[in-house]
Amino acid sequence: MNGDTGSDALLDLVREDLRGFGGYASARTYDLKGEVWLNANESPWANPADAGGASRRYPDPQPPALREALARLYGCRPGQLLVGRGSDEAIDLLVRALCVPGRDAVLVTPPVFGMYAVSARLQGAPLLEVPLVDGDAGFAVDLGAVAAAAEQGGAKLVFLCSPSNPTGGSVPLADVAALASRLAGRALVVVDEAYGEFSDQPSAITLMARHANIAVLRTLSKAHALAAARIGSLVADPALVRVLRACQAPYPVPTPCVELAVAALSDEALARTSARVAQVRSERARLRQALATLPGVVRVYPSDGNYLLVRFGDPGAAFDRLLAAGVVVRDQRAVAQLGDALRITIGTPDQNDRVLAALDAREAAA
Ligand SMILES: *Cc1c(COP(=O)(O)O)cnc(C)c1O
């Protein structure tokens, strides 16, 4: 790594007042050995509802078995990975640790997942918006405009969602790398790969050896079907991971969730998850083709995620017809550039058939 892109330059991106901040020193902070643990005011007895007593003690802040399993899954080293309460928590930690309120901006590319803007607002960080461009191949990031706006607006964080929610497209890795080079020493480029499992494109984690100012968000909430367990990961330079850990809650991941996640990362469970992902991908192709033939459908965007963005001639009627059939989809009509669009999550084959039947105007008229 050269000086421009290494850990030292990266730590310069952290808020000055947080450099050297150690965070809360919990009972778990001290590496002591013993047999009788009377240092954390825990109960010596298990709760009657807690069979096995796994929840009696405070959890390890970053459980090694989970961290190692996630690192294996994502192809990084455990020291590069921070586990938290969903990737939502990692987004919030990044904004809080890097952005001085009223000064350091967060750049987003709307229409896009709303949590980046929410975290920026809560931190008092200026928000820079560089809209996606709606082209023949779908919505795409305007890389030149992003780089220029980030430089001019003093962005500390640039969030790229890839595959993007709700528009479905991926940001080419070469573009991520070029942006990271251009913004080295100025900003961290965060690639949110919440839907990475559904895409053919390799993870931006593969770029991190050359670009310390790239961080990647992953989650077990979507492809791994564990949204309620709230297990998200940030993969980043180990020096940045240490800074964020100091800013995080003392015990961020509950033991029952850790146990569930570790079980979900066994070879057998992962093989079954992969089969489900393949099924979603084939249903995505089928649904996209079928939707495109329906009369009221104006455009179905290509998608690398587990959802389709669809424009309708009469989006309100489509939404209502789906609702009348008991199918709830995500209304995008209040979103700039998406005034006629709905986002439809890929369901089971039966559920997808229900979507198609509800939307088929010819059937409704008959
Ligand atoms: C769903 C989603 C997340 C949130 O994931 P959690 O790990 O459940 O917090 C993050 N980013 C995008 C783009 C999402 O769609």
Per-domain residue ranges of the chain:
3-265, 269-365
Does residue 96 have a pLDDT over 90? yes
Question: Of ligand 1's atoms, which has the minimum distance to the CA of residue 222?
Answer: 1
Residue 220, ligand 1, Cβ within 6 A:
no
> What angle (nearest 5°) sits at the alpha carbon of residue 180, between those of residues 74 and 170?
55
DSSP string, 128-169: EE---EEETTEEE--HHHHHHHHHHHTEEEEEEESSPTTT--
How many angstroms separate the CA atoms of 170 and 277, rounded?
17
The average pLDDT across 76-86 equals: 98
DSSP 104: S
Band of pLDDT at residue 36, cut at 50, 70 and 90: very high
CA distances from 153 to 60, 213, 286 (A): 40, 18, 43
List phi, psi (to 5°) of 156: -95, -25
Ligand 1 centroid – CA 113 distance (Å): 8
pLDDT, residue 31, reads 80
Is 129 in contact with 110 (CB distance < 8 Å)? Answer: yes
Does residue 145 have a pLDDT over 50? yes
CA distances from 132 to 135, 161, 170 (A): 9, 11, 12
Q: Which class in CATH covers the domain with range 3-265?
A: alpha beta
pLDDT, residue 20, reads 85
Residue 227, ligand 1, Cβ within 6 A:
yes
Is 207 in contact with 248 (CB distance < 8 Å)? Answer: no
Whether omega before 349 lies within 30 degrees of 0, making that bond cis, reads no
Ligand 1 centroid – CA 40 distance (Å): 33
Beta-carbon contacts of residue 72 (< 8 Å; ≥ 6 apart): 265
DSSP string, 188-210: EEEEE-TTGGG-SSPPGGGGTTT
Residue 114, ligand 1, Cβ within 6 A:
no
Token pair 């997808």 is at which residue?
352
Ligand 1 centroid – CA 142 distance (Å): 23
Q: Report the predicted TM-score, pTM, of the whole model to 2 decimal places.
A: 0.96
Band of pLDDT at residue 361, cut at 50, 70 and 90: low
Does residue 366 have a pLDDT over 70? no
Fold agreement (3-265, 269-365):
no
How many angstroms separate the CA atoms of 4 and 181, rounded?
9
Please give the share of the chain, as a percent, with pLDDT higher than 70: 97
Band of pLDDT at residue 25, cut at 50, 70 and 90: confident
pLDDT, residue 328, reads 98
pLDDT digits (tens, 9 = 90+) for 194-250: 999 999 999 999 999 999 999 999 999 999 999 999 999 999 999 999 999 999 999
Give the helix, strand, coil percentages of the chain, each rounded to 5.
Answer: 40, 15, 45
pLDDT digits (tens, 9 = 90+) for 122-132: 999 999 999 99
Residue 109, ligand 1, Cβ within 6 A:
no
Is 332 in contact with 166 (CB distance < 8 Å)? Answer: yes
pLDDT, residue 364, reads 52
Does residue 98 have a pLDDT over 60? yes
pLDDT, residue 1, reads 40
Ligand 1 centroid – CA 223 distance (Å): 11
Band of pLDDT at residue 27, cut at 50, 70 and 90: confident
- Nearest C-alpha to atom 11 of ligand 1 is from which residue? 194
Ligand 1 centroid – CA 127 distance (Å): 19
Does residue 59 have a pLDDT over 90? yes
H/E segment holding residue 91: helix 86-98
pLDDT, residue 4, reads 46
CATH number of 269-365: 3.90.1150.10
Is 226 in contact with 59 (CB distance < 8 Å)? Answer: no
The average pLDDT across 110-117 equals: 98
- Nearest C-alpha to atom 9 of ligand 1 is from which residue? 86
The average pLDDT across 178-186 equals: 97
Ligand 1 centroid – CA 194 distance (Å): 5
